[in-house]
């Protein structure tokens, strides 16, 4: 007598047939849940609110930029700004031409000896060109730079007597200020995060990794809201369509005000002005604001 398989009555035959596929699907789903989230384009783990920054007040002044603003300053290609807090003075980038940098510092009444530290966004000449002006007058500063900086730049800073602090993760500069992580680009780059009573100020050098990615990183690190993104956005070759999409993305990220300068390009400034209206600030060398 033919014996029916128990599988026929219990459905195990069909289950056995599909079991490997089901296991594979479940494995993929579990793996997706366990894997860290990643930043678009760069494949880096996204931190979740790992920075706690105190609110701070002070001023931000653009010392070097190719866009004119203050008549006494020289507009030259590059970027630098000074963040002055009650107990800390931070120089972010140092422009390109050392003579123009020195001129603007003098024109704006900046005391080099009062600078406590320098944060360099990335290694390009138009952001590191004036560093010797500061180091010669104030060799005791600390210089925060991405660890992938060329050896000769790091060596020169050390020879001048300054302390090199190499960064890859987000790094706290003082209670209210930190860097973003160093994001993968060509070259690698970090931005500055300032926590103010109005929200976060994000200061970018050139935004080679994408200003939207630097903004997203700042948000993921702090859980805060960006009240202003200011600096170079590296958009000189972008089309109007691409710029329009970026404006929408920055708005979706909750960036309240925007101040594109340096390598952002005239078209980008125009499109951001159209998209943000009065919340797009016209800035340039010599611009200063309190927070």
**Residue 50, domain member (yes or no):** no
Q: Do 205 and 174 share a structural domain?
A: yes
Domain at 208, CATH number: 3.60.15.10
Number of domains in the chain: 2
What pLDDT, on the 0 to 100 scale, is given for residue 47?
A: 66
Q: Do 5 and 134 share a structural domain?
A: no
Q: What is the rounded distance in angstroms from the CA atom of residue 279 to the CA atom of residue 258?
A: 6
Cβ neighbours of residue 20 under 8 Å, at least 6 residues apart?
Answer: none
Whether the per-residue pLDDT at 46 is higher than 70: the answer is no
Whether the per-residue pLDDT at 247 is higher than 80: the answer is yes
Q: Do 231 and 145 share a structural domain?
A: yes
Whose structure tokens read 């029916």?
A: 4
Average pLDDT, the chain: 88
Cα dihedral 185, 117, 89, 50 sign: positive
Q: Do 246 and 109 share a structural domain?
A: yes
Query: What are the CA-CA distances from residue 162 to residues 38, 90, 138, 271 (Å)?
Result: 35, 14, 8, 41
Per-residue burial over 236-256, b = 16 or more CB atoms within 10 Å of its CB, e = otherwise: eebeeeebeebbeebeebebb
Q: Do 210 and 78 share a structural domain?
A: yes
What pLDDT, on the 0 to 100 scale, is given for residue 7?
A: 38
Q: Do 227 and 189 share a structural domain?
A: yes
Whether the per-residue pLDDT at 31 is higher than 50: the answer is no
Q: What is the rounded distance in angstroms from the CA atom of residue 291 to the CA atom of residue 288?
A: 10
Any idea how long the chain is?
291
Q: Do 220 and 88 share a structural domain?
A: yes
Q: Do 62 and 28 share a structural domain?
A: no
Supply the range of the domain harboring residue 113: 58-290
Q: Do 31 and 175 share a structural domain?
A: no
Confidence of residue 68 (pLDDT cuts 50, 70, 90): very high
Q: Do 104 and 157 share a structural domain?
A: yes
What pLDDT, on the 0 to 100 scale, is given for residue 48?
A: 81
Q: Do 16 and 106 share a structural domain?
A: no
Note the Cα 90 to chain centre separation in Å.
16
């Amino acid at each position: 007598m033919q014996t029916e398989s128990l599988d026929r009555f219990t459905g195990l035959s069909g289950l056995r047939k599909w079991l490997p596929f089901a296991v594979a699907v479940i494995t993929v789903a579990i793996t997706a849940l366990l894997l860290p989230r990643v930043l678009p384009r760069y494949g880096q783990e996204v931190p979740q609110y790992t920075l706690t920054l105190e609110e701070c007040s002070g001023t931000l002044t653009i010392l070097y930029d190719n866009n004119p603003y203050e008549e006494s300053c020289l507009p030259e290609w590059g970027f630098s700004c000074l963040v002055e807090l009650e107990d800390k003075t931070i120089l972010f980038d140092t422009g390109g031409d050392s003579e123009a940098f020195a001129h603007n510092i003098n024109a704006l009444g900046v005391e080099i000896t009062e600078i406590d530290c320098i944060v360099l966004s990335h290694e390009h000449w138009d952001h590191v060109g004036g560093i010797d002006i500061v180091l010669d007058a104030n060799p005791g500063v600390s210089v925060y730079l991405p660890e992938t900086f060329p050896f000769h730049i790091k060596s020169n800073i050390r020879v001048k007597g300054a302390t090199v602090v190499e960064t890859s993760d987000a790094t706290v500069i003082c209670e209210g200020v930190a860097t973003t992580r160093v994001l993968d680009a060509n070259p690698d780059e970090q931005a500055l995060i300032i926590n103010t009573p109005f929200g976060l100020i994000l200061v970018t050098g050139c935004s080679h990794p994408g200003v939207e990615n630097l903004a997203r990183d700042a948000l993921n690190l702090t859980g805060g809201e960006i009240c202003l993104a200011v600096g170079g956005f590296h958009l000189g070759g972008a089309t109007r369509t691409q710029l329009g999409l970026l404006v929408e993305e920055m708005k979706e990220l909750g960036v309240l005000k925007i101040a594109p300068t340096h390598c952002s390009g005239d078209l980008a400034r125009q499109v951001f002005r159209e998209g943000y209206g009065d919340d797009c600030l016209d800035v340039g060398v010599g611009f200063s604001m309190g927070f």
